[in-house]
Amino acid sequence: MKSIRMALTFKLAALFLGILISMGFCPVKTEASAKVIGLYSVKVDSGYLALRNEKAYDSSNEIGKLYTGDYVLPIGSTSSSDEYWYVYSYDQGKLGYVNSSYLVYEGRLKNEEYYDVKVDSGYLALRKEKAYDSSNEIGKLYTGDSVLLLNDSDSSYWIVYSPDLMKAGYVNKDYLK
């Protein structure tokens, strides 16, 4: 009697699985990660959106001009209550602040290129500028940390984003593998 129940249970499970598969419910391998990053585009009615070096409307702090269709990658908090977001501009190749009212969510960033940090001892400094100076350190990266490559146009310092620190900055590229 017990073996008949077991056989019936297996047949019902196989039937149920067959029904789910025929309905399109297939198990799909996904990568759950806190490293998912949203991509945004600029949308202005006319003119440009200023990329700024501070969270303030002031013509003296403009470091670039973004136009409708340009893409930015928010770095850190993207709260709708924050007027200014810190972003990486793909078109300008720079980090700066923009008025978040002019950004439109385009979806998840695709084709990310991550690098692993490899230092013999200590840490790799994440910097706010392309220079070796203890006063410009904004974070510490250790062997095994992963960073998203944003810009590799400089021969020594690359712009990267650290999902763990939720910060972007410059690192010496010789310590990325």
Per-residue pLDDT tens digits for 102-125? 999 999 888 789 999 999 999 999
The tens digit of pLDDT for each residue in 39-53 reads: 999 999 999 999 999
The distance from CA 145 to its chain's CA centroid, rounded to whole angstroms, is 14
173-176 long-range contacts (CB < 8 A, ≥24 apart) are 175/117, 175/118, 175/119, 175/124, 176/115, 176/116, 176/117, 176/118, 176/147, 176/149
Q: Which residue has the higher pLDDT, 66 or 37?
A: 66
- Of 135, 138, 129, 131, which Cα lies nearest the Cα of 162? 138
Q: Which residues pair with 51 in a beta bridge?
A: 64
